[in-house]
């Protein structure tokens, strides 16, 4: 594959690489560092990419491997201080059911990392279970059960399924009440 | 806690109404011990599958919205510059 073509295809994947990275690490600056490492690794190994195959899955696999390398290193350094803080503080979704990015980031950070990546790949990156299984290097059935568990946990954390989520908001209720 | 059909209403803040059955045992000296177990009304059991499908869909679309929001942001220049540099170096 010519360099120019590889470069163009890699550039096209940058937005979704960033979205995947932020979903994994939760912090924009650290996510962009992860994307930068991924770009450098991908470029260095570009000859091992087979033209015509799935470049997104290939890049996501590199990013994921890079994430785990850094994640493990960091975990040894400080016993995941962020994770411990995240686990001890409750999530407070907005009263009107509207949820901002920070709430989702916070909730995602509370999911076990293997469940988090599975859910993001399948639900947000629109990967098939097979693609996600290939990226994570596990069986399709494993991905399916991780996605299910992650979704259940996330709905709990975001309090999806409670009255205020599906019921009319305060303004609508006021209109109904005034009739 | 309110008494309700021999059980107690323990949770009203969710959509579902859970009733906890309480069995009282007298164990000497008027000391009481409790055993509790959760029960879910049968009509809710029938709809729980449908309800969880709705919840799953809602969670998925929230996550998708979050992801698409990030993916829709402009890619920082540093990545384009990095790729240009890498491309230049390998020529």
Query: How many CB atoms lie under 10 A from the CB of residue A75?
Result: 11
Q: How far is CA A52 from CA A5, A9, A35, A55, in A?
A: 11, 11, 22, 8
CATH 1.10.1740.10 fits A1-74, yes or no: yes
Q: Give which of A106, A108, A110 is closest to A121, Cα–Cα.
A: A108
ipTM: 0.78
For the entire predicted model, the pTM comes to 0.70
Q: Quick check: B62 contacting A, CB < 8 Å? A: yes
Say if the Cβ atoms of A15 and B87 lie within 8 Å: no
CATH 3.40.50.1370 fits A95-179, yes or no: no
Distance CA A47, CA A49 (A): 5
Size of interface A-B (CB pairs under 8 A): 97
Quickly state the pLDDT bin for A108 (edges 50, 70, 90).
Answer: very high
Residue of A7, A15, A124, A155 for testing the chain B interface, max B β-carbons within 10 Å? A124
Q: What pLDDT does residue B49 have?
A: 78
Q: Quick check: B70 contacting A, CB < 8 Å? A: yes
Q: Quick check: A19 contacting B, CB < 8 Å? A: yes
Distance CA A144, CA A152 (A): 12
Element housing B74 (H / E): none
Q: What pLDDT does residue A105 have?
A: 92
Out of B59, B73, B83, the one facing A151 most closely (by C-beta) is: B59
Q: Quick check: B51 contacting A, CB < 8 Å? A: yes
Q: For chain A, what are the domain ranges?
A: 1-74, 95-179
Residue of B83, B87, B88, B90 for testing the chain A interface, max A β-carbons within 10 Å? B83
pLDDT tens for B37-65 read: 445 555 555 567 788 888 889 999 999 99
Q: How far is CA A17 from CA A121, B9, B17, B19, B49, in A?
A: 11, 48, 43, 47, 34
């Amino acid at each position: 594959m010519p360099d120019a073509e590889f470069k163009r295809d890699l550039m096209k994947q940058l937005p979704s690489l960033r979205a995947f990275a932020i979903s994994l690490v939760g912090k924009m600056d650290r996510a962009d560092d992860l994307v930068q490492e991924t770009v450098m690794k991908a470029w260095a190994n570009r000859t091992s990419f087979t033209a015509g195959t799935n470049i997104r899955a290939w890049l996501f696999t590199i990013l994921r491997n890079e994430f785990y390398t850094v994640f493990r290193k960091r975990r040894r350094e400080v016993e995941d201080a962020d994770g411990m803080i995240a686990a001890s503080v409750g999530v407070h979704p907005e009263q009107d059911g509207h949820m901002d990015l920070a709430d989702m980031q916070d909730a995602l950070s509370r999911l076990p990392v293997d469940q988090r990546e599975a859910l993001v790949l399948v639900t947000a990156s629109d990967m098939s279970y097979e693609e996600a299984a290939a990226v994570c290097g596990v069986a399709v059935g494993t991905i399916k059960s991780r996605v299910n568990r992650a979704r259940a946990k996330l709905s709990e954390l975001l309090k999806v399924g409670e009255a205020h989520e599906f019921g009319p908001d305060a303004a609508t209720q006021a209109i109904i009440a005034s009739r | 806690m309110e008494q309700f059909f021999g059980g107690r209403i323990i949770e009203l803040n969710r959509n579902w109404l859970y009733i906890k059955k309480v069995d009282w045992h007298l164990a000497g000296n008027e000391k009481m011990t409790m055993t509790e177990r959760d029960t879910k009304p049968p009509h809710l059991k029938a709809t729980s599958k449908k309800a969880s499908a709705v919840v799953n869909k809602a969670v998925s679309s929230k996550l998708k919205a979050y992801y698409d929001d990030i993916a829709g942001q402009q890619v920082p220049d540093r990545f384009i510059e990095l790729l240009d540099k890498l491309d230049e170096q390998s020529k």
